[in-house]
Chain A
Amino acid sequence: MLTEHILQRLASIVGPEHVATGTVDRITHSFDATQQQFLPDVVVHPGTTEEISRIVQLANEERVPIVPRGAGSGFTGGSLPIHGGIVLVLTRMNRILEIDPDNLIAIVEPGVVTGHLQKEVERLGLFYPPDPASKDFSTLGGNIAECAGGPRCVKYGVTRDYVLGLTVVTPTGSVIHTGGRTMKNVVGYDLTRLLVGSEGTLGIVTQIILRLLPKPEARKTMLVAFASIDGAAQAVSAIIRGKIIPTTLEFMDGAAIDCVRRAARIDLPLECRAVLIIEVDGDRALLAGQAQKILDIVRPLGVLETRTAETAEESEAIWRVRRSVSPSLRALNPHKFNEDIVVPRSRVPEMIRLLEAISARYGVPIVNFGHAGDGNIHVNVMVDLDQPDMKDTVRRVLDEIFRTAVGLGGSVSGEHGIGTAKAPYIAMELEQPTLAAMQAVKRALDPNNIMNPGKIFPPDIAEHTGCAASPPPSLDPYHA
């Protein structure tokens, strides 16, 4: 528990109406999308960089853990207060400060919801591409902390590719500015890139300079049904080899199609075992040709059917198939382990085959879908944890999946981050000197380990380097 003295100082910084210590408020800020729960001691809603700086100084002096929180929609525990302390909610700081069409930038506060910014810039014919599935509710601050991705990353890249500069309160309470308003800037270390994806462990972002693009004039959506996953996977490589980068290149495997089929009527050939949803965007005049070229490339690869949307409604109908996958999974089994491994694009077919082998070997359903175009596969291990020994089986299955991905030159997480959920697997991918370099950075910026402690680095590694305390949970099921 925090002392009365600390609570009083917090209240004097942000005003008593923005400090809550009651059980109700602590409970409503105890969780994120991992469904794990840890009670904070106090919930604070700051309104300015200055207030945040003073709060962090206080936390640092008093050695109180402090956890920044946006929408609390992360999948890996980044905003969980696993050691209690202060949860700092940034939703009050939700202003779009500037949209500059001449320099193609936007300046925003961290609490701005990603989809809201997209809507506002698109009114002006501009475009902010990163589109995580949560974009209608997740915040830009959270997107930066996790370096969020999304389907459009195939062509446009991820959040880090659109961050030009940041205002950050460091773990000792200093206010620093990284990058700036220009595309080119090589002055000093690139702290912007260091902070994007740092999961709130190196500081609290309080202002963001984002790069914008002109909005593409039009887009075209296609659905291609394949007789086998191999055909679909080869199609991905063939399209890229054909020197076309689609906006999105999403895939669903046979298990995913079966789930959707069970939940709703979908209009797909019965023998269809894989689907690609391909979207291209750009000048209207060029799209038809691009779409045709893609269809020509994929046609020899066991294609059963192709469908090209002519209207916005038809495009929406295609995307509805893809979006109905997640909700339909729960019919399979009550518990879902949703991993977001990534492998080099060319290794996607191999990875899918190995996943199918793992599924068969352990007798657990694994449903795969996701961003085939950039190799980011959402692997959903569907189990019933109430079955005997299932927890142990899941552990071994996940372990094997991650080892396989890393073995193919991939990563254990493409866009969800590490947090607490993936911390046990980080050492599979990063060798000891790399981890040590990262922890040296953490210690230099956060000598008292108050800034979102216990994240990224697993307890055994963190303990003798002073970057964590008690063990976080190692097995996080999602109720499907």
Chain B
Amino acid sequence: MLKDKALEHFQDEIAQCVRCGACQAHCPVYLETGREGSVARGKIVLAAALLAGEIGLDERLREEIGLCLLCGSCTAKCPNKVPTDAIVAAIRRRITENQGLSVLGRGVAALTGGSKPLLGALVKGADLLAPLLFTNIPEASSLRLRFAPAALKDRSLPPLPKRNLFARVPEFLEGDATQPVVGIFAGCALTHLYPHVGEILVRLVHRLGCSVFLPRTQGCCGMPATSSGNGPLVASLAKANAGAFAGRALDCILTACASCHAMLTGYSPATVHWPAAELVDIHVFLLRQGLGKQLAARPKWPHRFRVAYHDPCHLRAAGITRAPRDLLRALPQADFVDMEDSALCCGLGGTFAAAHPDLSRAIGDRKVAGLRASGAAVIASGCPGCILQLQDIIDRAGLAVRAMHTLELIDQALTGPPP
């Protein structure tokens, strides 16, 4: 995998870029800035110049390299599949190695690294993300940096839960002996911010007959650390997560967060001995287990609402676009509509939203027209980060739409009021 390869070893990939410009049509950042340094092609030329010693890691270079959501849109549409996201991540690691972590990067490290993750520890206290809380957090705390007031100002945030996922479900749920034994990698957001979705994930899979293992020692997947160029932290998180699942024979490991899925798929086999179990996105898994047919067999509700879908970049890049739509189409309580620009990035992009709040919002706002035209009452997605960002986009646009995880809608279909 490319996730921990040094910039020097990307020479061949860099040479594959033919400068055609096709990436311009798909880069969310370029569509806003119109600047060549924002787009994959420009970054590849900079990477080549960096390797040739024509430029150094100066402030302007750091700025341009910072302007990337690592969404992978460019790679997906590149005729030669140049892995720009991996190359940008490698440049960010080099910047970190040479100049230390950025203020934001230090915040990420404090939050997601170490034995007692700060995000988990502080969420227990209650409204972690509420801007008010910042008056109570010491100036030196990294929390101020990760969720900087500039990024949070006027932002729609979910009401924060009192109990996290681990307090809601047991570590192991025994299922039917004929059904798969699955591990669940919940990720920070489904553990702490949206634990009710995490709980649906665990219980739904158990209800389908599977035995479910949710190890307590799992931590952050490492996406924010990747985004901020912290290679060593990514490696140690990967090791810890591999260790968390090592003790048990599993048929597969499930994720319900697109970014976690992308991150775990990319763990380097050179540094991490990841369990042999297949890593499967929840949508794909549920369809495999026949849930699509089960849902479609249920009587349609008489009063249905319209539901649209937002493609998380990290599922789209993995080629997972049909499974979530198939599930949504099967819902008895809703009519699915494929909105225009469903595949446009929401603009969150790891630490991008914190580093570039205005640009992040401008990128996100491109979703509004398609969503409005779709007439949907709910926009579903398969990534909690996207859901957080989508609700913020919706609220600022004044639309009467709710952003929900696909799992919440499935749960509603299975447990909601009978038609």
Contacts and interface: CB of A to CB of B under 8 A. Distances in A.
Interface of A: 22-25, 27-35, 37, 45, 71-73, 89, 91-92, 94, 111, 113, 115, 134, 136-138, 326-327, 330, 478-480
A28 B21 contact: no
B24 A137 contact: yes
Q: Which of B20, B49, B61, B79 has the most CB of A within 10 A?
A: B20
Interface stretch (B11-19, B262-270, B303-311, B354-362): B11-19
Contact of B35 (A27, A33, A91, A137): A91
A23 B58 CA distance: 10
Contacts of A22: 58, 60
Contact of B45 (A30, A73, A327): A30
A134 B80 contact: no
B34 A28 contact: no
Given A137-B22, A479-B18, A31 B60 contact: no
A327 B80 CA distance: 7
A33 B19 contact: yes
A336 B112 CA distance: 47
B64 A137 contact: no
A480 B19 CA distance: 11
Contacts of A480: 18
The list of the 8 closest CB pairs from A to B, nearest first, reads A91-B34, A73-B21, A136-B25, A137-B24, A28-B42, A24-B60, A28-B36, A137-B25
Contacts of A24: 37, 46, 55, 58, 60-61, 64
A20 to B, nearest CB: 8
Interface of chain A, main secondary structure: loop
A72 B37 contact: no
Interface in B1-55: 15-16, 18-25, 34-37, 42, 45-46, 49, 54-55
Contacts of B61: 24
Nearest to B58: A24
B19 A31 contact: yes
A23 B36 contact: no
Nearest to B20: A33
Interface in B95-114: none
Contacts of A111: 34
Contacts of A33: 18-21
Contacts of B22: 134, 136-137
A231 B21 CA distance: 36
Nearest to A113: B25
Given A23-B55, A137-B21, 4 more contacts: A22-B60, A23-B60, A137-B22, A138-B21
7 contacts: A23-B55, A24-B64, A27-B46, A28-B37, A28-B64, A45-B35, A71-B21
A330 B21 contact: no
A27 B61 CA distance: 11
Contacts of B23: 137
B223 to A, nearest CB: 27
A326 B21 CA distance: 15
A37 B25 CA distance: 22
A167 B199 CA distance: 62
Contacts of A34: 19
B21 A478 contact: no
B79 A327 contact: yes
A137 B58 CA distance: 29
Nearest to B48: A27
Contact of B18 (A35, A71, A92, A138): A35
Contacts of B55: 23-24, 27
A115 B25 contact: yes
Nearest to B79: A327
Nearest to B38: A28
Contacts of B42: 28
A55 B182 CA distance: 65
B15 A479 contact: yes
Nearest to A323: B79
A399 B298 CA distance: 70
A453 B80 CA distance: 32
Contacts of B79: 326-327
Nearest to B24: A137
A473 to B, nearest CB: 15
A267 B155 CA distance: 52
Contacts of B64: 24, 28
A38 to B, nearest CB: 13
Nearest to A478: B18
Nearest to B21: A73
